[in-house]
């Protein structure tokens, strides 16, 4: 129980940390890509203005200037080439002196492809292009800016941030594991105290129950059985069964219940359990339909599986109305063996099916007292299933039918 709680704490904490790291890495890299894109657009506009004559030809500043890179430095440090087309779409000018990434023939092909695309801007190969009306002559000017260095920078930034994120994730995992024991210590102590209380109380109550039972039987030897002595014996037996079940749950929670795993015929165990309930079924005039495939085997603790079957069938018999129906099926349609126990009832519990496995849950207190239950049987069944690595679920088929399914 404590280990499971610690594991859930670590998983929950790491999910939150992972989400935060992914968000931060995403924001950083997206911001980097957007910044690179905006800077590329700014550079292309500077080149276009300089080439189109919208501004006087750019001259070198007379003295160094502080602050960010000025437009002259941006222009001189950029790798680009320029193409001009006349009004009829003929290439009339091509300047590749500002880049060595392409030859004139490659530049011509790229320029014609970009012009024929009909788009004002876009990307081709390692270049981003911008098409604008030329003020130097009728036609358009196409600016191609080499972004290979910026793209490499973005990829490098992505790799570095991912590597840093992985390292941070690993460090945080180590810290969470180390701190998880301290974080859940108050809860663990409370759970341990509860377990110890149940165990101690169970052993302490067993002795007075045995004394009450034996004294009642001795009294009956002298005075005969009366309705009061009969009720005393019924209630002490019921309380004794409850304490035994609580001690069994405590052992399961503490993981000290011995499980002797063997391979056995589950069909035989189920048939034996059904036979043991025939008298109760006949007394309530319940229609029983059993379809049990023969010679199905599983690997589990035989006695615990028999106890599981007893709990599920006892629950079905208790809550099936007189003249109702119980359907049992055991088959192996694929790799897993499937047990299904369905029973009709006057009305279904007003809660979700998983709630039925909660300890001391009662759908109807008055009826539970009448049938002798105390709301702990299905909780034990779930613990047995978990101990043997089985799946036990409940579902409502209609307004008066409930099904319990066990997957082996």
60, 112 in Cβ contact below 8 A? no
- Choose among 277, 265, 408, 269: nearest CA to 343: 277
Q: Determine contact, residues 304/387, Cβ cutoff 8 Å.
A: yes
| pLDDT for residue 375 | 65
Query: For 8, which DSSP code?
Result: H
pLDDT of residue 366: 44
CB burial of 301-317 (b: ≥16 within 10 Å; e: otherwise) equals bbebbbbbbbbbbbbbb
- Residue 312 pLDDT: 87
- Measured over all CA atoms, what is the biggest interatomic distance in the chain, rounded to whole angstroms? 128
State the Cα–Cα distance between residues 81 and 59, nearest whole angstrom: 19
Q: Is 68 left (phi over 0), alpha (psi -120 to 50) or beta?
A: beta
Q: How far is CA 236 from CA 18, 160, 231, 282, in A?
A: 55, 71, 8, 27
Hey, what are 30's tokens?
């997206």
Contacts with 47 (C-beta within 8 Å, 6 or more apart), sequence order: 75, 78, 80, 82, 143, 145
Predicted confidence pLDDT, tens digits, the chain (408 residues): 567 777 888 888 889 999 999 999 999 999 999 988 888 888 888 888 877 655 445 555 555 555 556 667 677 778 889 998 888 888 888 988 888 888 889 989 999 988 888 888 888 878 889 888 887 678 888 989 888 888 888 899 999 999 999 999 999 998 888 887 777 777 767 766 666 666 666 666 777 777 887 888 888 777 777 778 777 877 777 777 667 766 666 666 665 556 678 888 888 888 888 888 888 888 888 888 888 888 888 888 888 888 888 888 888 888 888 888 889 888 888 888 888 988 888 777 777 777 777 766 555 544 444 555 556 778 778 888 887 888 888 888 877 888 888 888
Side-chain half-sphere of 157: how many Cα atoms within 13 Å? 17
Q: Report the distance separating Cα 326 and Cα 250, nearest Å.
A: 31
Q: Are 391 and 406 in contact (CB under 8 A)?
A: yes
Residue 130 buriedness (CB in 10 A; 0-12 / 13-18 / 19+): buried
Q: So what's the pLDDT on residue 365? A: 47
Specify the long-range contacts of residues 69-72, CB closer than 8 Å, at least 24 apart: 71/46
Rg (CA), the chain: 40
Per-residue pLDDT, 248: 67
Surface-to-core class of residue 257, CB atoms within 10 Å of its CB (0-12 exposed, 13-18 middle, 19+ buried) = middle
Give the predicted TM-score (pTM) of the model.
0.51
Q: Which two tokens stand for residue 201?
A: 């109380």
Distance in angstroms (rounded) separating the CA atoms of residues 356 and 341: 15
């Amino acid at each position: 129980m404590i280990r499971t709680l610690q594991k859930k704490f670590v998983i929950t904490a790491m999910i939150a940390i992972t989400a935060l790291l992914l968000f931060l890495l995403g924001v950083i890299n997206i911001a980097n890509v957007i910044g690179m894109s905006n800077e590329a657009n700014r550079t292309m506009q500077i080149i276009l203005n300089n080439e189109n004559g919208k501004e006087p030809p750019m001259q070198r500043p007379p003295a160094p200037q502080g602050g960010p890179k000025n437009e002259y430095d941006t222009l001189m440090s950029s790798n680009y080439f320029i193409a001009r087309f006349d009004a009829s779409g003929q290439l009339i000018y091509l300047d590749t002196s500002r880049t060595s990434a392409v030859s004139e023939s490659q530049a011509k092909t790229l320029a014609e492809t970009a012009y024929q695309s009909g788009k004002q801007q876009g990307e081709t190969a390692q270049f981003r292009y911008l098409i604008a009306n030329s003020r130097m002559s009728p036609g358009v000017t196409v600016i191609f800016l080499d972004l290979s260095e910026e793209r490499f920078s973005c990829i490098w930034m992505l790799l570095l941030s991912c590597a840093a994120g992985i390292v941070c994730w690993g460090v945080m995992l180590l810290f969470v594991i180390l701190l998880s024991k301290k974080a859940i210590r108050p809860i663990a102590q409370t759970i341990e105290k509860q377990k110890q209380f149940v165990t101690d109380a169970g052993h302490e109550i067993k002795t007075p129950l045995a004394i009450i039972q034996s004294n009642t039987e001795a009294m009956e030897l002298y005075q005969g059985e009366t309705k009061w002595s009969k009720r005393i014996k019924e209630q002490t037996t019921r309380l004794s069964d409850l304490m035994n079940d609580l001690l069994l749950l405590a052992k399961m929670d503490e993981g000290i219940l011995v499980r002797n795993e063997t391979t056995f015929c589950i069909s035989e165990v189920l048939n034996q359990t059904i036979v043991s309930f025939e008298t109760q079924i006949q007394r309530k005039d319940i229609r029983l339909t059993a379809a049990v495939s023969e010679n199905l085997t599983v690997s589990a603790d035989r006695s615990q599986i028999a106890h599981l079957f007893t709990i599920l069938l006892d629950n079905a018999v208790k809550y099936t109305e007189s003249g109702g129906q119980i359907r049992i099926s055991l088959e192996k349609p694929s790799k897993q063996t499937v047990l299904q126990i369905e029973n009709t009832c006057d009305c279904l519990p007003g809660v979700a099916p998983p709630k039925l496995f909660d300890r001391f849950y009662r759908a109807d207190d008055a009826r539970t007292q009448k049938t002798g239950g105390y709301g702990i049987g299905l909780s034990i069944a779930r613990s047995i299933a978990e101990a043997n690595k089985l799946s036990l679920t409940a579902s409502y088929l209609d307004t008066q039918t409930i099904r319990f399914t066990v997957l082996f």
